[in-house]
């Protein structure tokens, strides 16, 4: 069975179906016994769709201006 750190490092390969069968089995065993890793996996799976939705929305101009000003100030320092 993998540690949490090892499991997290393997998630992309796991989701892409690229893990060797023995690694996949060990990862699945870890996930069955580790609710925090299962929560992380759910979040990891949801991230691409959340990013697509966020990018499809227009930022209000006032917020964009304030963010630009803030970043310019930080870059000057």
Q: What is the pLDDT of residues 18-44, one digit of tens each?
A: 999 999 999 999 999 999 999 999 999
Domain of 58: which CATH number? 1.10.10
Above pLDDT 90, what percent of the chain?
Answer: 71
Residue written as tokens 């939705």?
53
Tell me how many domains the chain contains. 1
pLDDT reported for residue 34 = 95
pLDDT reported for residue 48 = 87
pLDDT at 1 over 80: no
Segments forming the whole domain that contains residue 31: 4-76
Structure pTM? 0.63
pLDDT reported for residue 25 = 94
Helices (H) and strands (E) in the chain, counts: 4, 0
Q: Helix 21-33 crosses helix 35-56 at what angle (to 10 degrees)?
A: 100
pLDDT (average), residues 46-53: 89
């Amino acid at each position: 069975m993998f540690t949490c750190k090892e499991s997290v490092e393997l998630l992309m390969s796991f989701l892409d179906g690229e893990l060797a069968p023995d690694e996949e089995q060990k990862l699945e065993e870890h996930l069955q016994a580790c609710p925090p890793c299962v929560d992380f996996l759910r979040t990891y799976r949801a991230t691409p769709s959340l990013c697509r939705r966020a990018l499809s929305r227009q930022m209000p101009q006032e917020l964009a201006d304030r963010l630009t000003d803030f970043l310019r100030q930080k870059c000057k320092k």
